[in-house]
A = this chain, B = another copy of it.
């Protein structure tokens, strides 16, 4: 049985690369940039007026001039209007390009206007005030975004600003989610007293949905011929197979054997962890990867967060973020020789500390508390007692 760290390493070593594609920027939210974006102009592209008011020549003000004849009004987007003499000004709006003959903007709040003349009511001005100078943020040709950047709303804003309406992004893997087991019935059916409803697959699809992946869903009965046929088709049509159930030591756990027959090489089976010990991972040479998770929902969910998401991030070359830590908020014992992924609810203390309160549960089969859980806290294998106040790594899936 391998450790969590070994499992992670083997999974990341089998990250894929499904190439790039070019899409319209306004459908690119959540995608990963696969090109370098440079600014096509200075940002701001001109000396940008940042307050409504008048633009004057500072020298005139310094020489005692307080009242200026309004030569014209310039809106944002207008061609700049220059003055002829320093006792003139231009009434000018936020977002307008400062005329070359002017260098300072005085807000409406600091002037009075009468008979087409504006009078500055301040005794002091700063030369160049209320301006956002050309190129102050970025110069034309500067790199503004690099490959690996997750496209957030603010990144979209940047893409639009520099006119990158067609954008090269990483292509996403094609994923199929396979549930298995004859004990499962559809969610809209009434199970027999000894059956349960299928739910894992919906949960996994929802996680993928949040990751921007539209996954297919299939079900495998405990029937080796059907399992083989279905898996064969999936291996042909998808890049990633996410299975849940059918991989333990049970007599009807045909999946590892069938995968082997289909030339999917087992990379590991079983990880020193709870939940999720029976986790199986393999890959077909030059073909898809197969994550086969244990059937219980908490184990499936944890394995998706702890293994599949990092695999996907590496596959899409997403910029890495640093790890995240929280403070355990209650004493805890965990005896087995397994790394324990503790379900926790997170709160932010008034000291800026992230606190992790264990969500009570009855071991790995209990999914009733998963809905109240924000993260898994990864408790080290070497310890059995964990004290309130100790800090451990977390895998967060709900934003606070």
Where the two chains meet, the residues of A that have a C-beta atom closer than 8 Å to any C-beta of B are 25-26, 29, 43-46, 48, 50-53, 73, 75-80, 91, 93-97, 107-109, 132, 136-138, 144-145, 149, 152-163, 165, 181-184, 187-200, 202-207, 209-210, 222, 245, 248-253, 295, 297, 301, 321-327, 347-355, 361-371, 373, 391, 396-400
Given contacts A94-B250, A137-B368, A324-B400, 8 further A-B contacts (CB under 8 A): A43-B368, A45-B193, A50-B365, A77-B182, A78-B182, A158-B367, A161-B367, A162-B197
Report if A368-B322 is in contact (Cβ < 8 Å); known contacts: A181-B95, A183-B76, A295-B94: no
Q: Are the C-beta atoms of A132 and B187 separated by less than 8 Å?
A: no
Checking B107, B194, B396 against A97 with a beta-carbon cut-off of 8 angstroms, the contacting residue is B194
Q: Are the C-beta atoms of B362 and A132 separated by less than 8 Å?
A: yes
Shortest CB-to-CB span from A40 to chain B, Å, is 8
Q: Are the C-beta atoms of B96 and A194 separated by less than 8 Å?
A: yes
User: Hey, which chain B residues are within 8 Å of A138, CB to CB?
Assistant: 368
Residue of B nearest to A324 (CB): B348
Shortest CB-to-CB span from A293 to chain B, Å, is 13
User: Hey, which chain B residues are within 8 Å of A97, CB to CB?
Assistant: 193-194
Interface of A is mostly: loop
Shortest CB-to-CB span from A349 to chain B, Å, is 7
Bound-state CA distance A371–B107 (Å) is: 30
Copies of this chain present in the complex amount to 2
Q: Are the C-beta atoms of B76 and A181 separated by less than 8 Å?
A: yes
User: Hey, which chain B residues are within 8 Å of A204, CB to CB?
Assistant: 153
Bound-state CA distance A205–B181 (Å) is: 42
Bound-state CA distance A295–B353 (Å) is: 35
Residue of B nearest to A295 (CB): B95
Q: Are the C-beta atoms of A391 and B351 separated by less than 8 Å?
A: yes
Q: Are the C-beta atoms of B153 and A206 separated by less than 8 Å?
A: yes
User: Hey, which chain B residues are within 8 Å of A43, CB to CB?
Assistant: 368
Residue of B nearest to A356 (CB): B352
Q: Are the C-beta atoms of A251 and B91 separated by less than 8 Å?
A: yes
Report if A157-B367 is in contact (Cβ < 8 Å); known contacts: A25-B187, A194-B80: yes
User: Hey, which chain B residues are within 8 Å of A149, CB to CB?
Assistant: 371
Q: Are the C-beta atoms of A396 and B391 separated by less than 8 Å?
A: no
User: Hey, which chain B residues are within 8 Å of A193, CB to CB?
Assistant: 45-46, 97
Shortest CB-to-CB span from A77 to chain B, Å, is 3
Bound-state CA distance A301–B97 (Å) is: 23
User: Hey, which chain B residues are within 8 Å of A321, CB to CB?
Assistant: 400
Checking B53, B209, B399 against A399 with a beta-carbon cut-off of 8 angstroms, the contacting residue is B399
User: Hey, which chain B residues are within 8 Å of A192, CB to CB?
Assistant: 77, 79
Shortest CB-to-CB span from A170 to chain B, Å, is 18
Report if A158-B371 is in contact (Cβ < 8 Å); known contacts: A132-B362, A191-B45, A348-B354: yes
Chain B CB within 10 Å, residue with most, of A26, A75, A250: A250
Residue of B nearest to A360 (CB): B137
Q: Are the C-beta atoms of A153 and B203 separated by less than 8 Å?
A: yes
Residue of B nearest to A300 (CB): B157
